[in-house]
Amino acid sequence: MFGASIGRAATRIINAMVRWLAYGGVHPNILTVIGVLISIACGILFGLGHFFSAGIVLIVANVFDMLDGSVARETGNVTKFGGFLDSSLDRISDMIAFIGIMVFYASNTPQRSVTNVFLAGLAMMSSVMVSYTAARADSLGVKANVGFLQRPERIVLLIIGALSTWNWDSDFFLFNRMPQVLWVLAIGSTWTFVHRMFHTWQEFRKLEGKNRDLGQGNE
């Protein structure tokens, strides 16, 4: 019940912001660009080791990511280019965050870790491929939005890892959880990518089977 109340309150706030932005005539594509610029700031903060601040900025960036589509629908500015722009810049936003994390763990600090650099790189590559496979399959007539670690889940995990990291010297078990988050992101994103590849293969086999049956039926 408490969680539902928070969800309703957040929805009301988002809806009020959407109405205010629509009334002000703000174009949704501008919100999309602002969101990616904020994501760049997030990546810089990750690279500098300010993980907690990066987590806060990541939340703000994703608020803009939610607003652009809603404002587009509210103002009737839903366009194919807007959808293309949003999807393309989302990939940049995702990669920037991981690049910032990789830069930090590759830097000459006590937290330097080749393992974490590798995990962040694998998570970045797999995350992009998860999105690409869905888009590519959709362009060929197959829906491939399957898998348990899609973009919202990845963003939430990154935020959790970032917000838990504000005192590098603390031994408290809830602090500095980004390395564990990277393991989940790397393995989960790779598994989701493989799942989507397998799912798409199955769907194409079904379509090919139907086409063969139709062809034989018309003989």
The residue from 65, 68, 86, 90 that is catalytic is 90
* Strands in the chain per DSSP E: none
Q: Is 90 a catalytic residue?
A: yes
Task: Calculate the CA 188 to chain-centre distance.
Answer: 13
**Gap between the Cα atoms of 162 and 56, Å rounded:** 8
68 neighbors 32 (Cβ within 8 angstroms)? yes
Q: Which residue has the tokens 């912001």?
A: 17
**Gap between the Cα atoms of 1 and 192, Å rounded:** 31
**Gap between the Cα atoms of 146 and 10, Å rounded:** 26
Show which residues are catalytic.
90
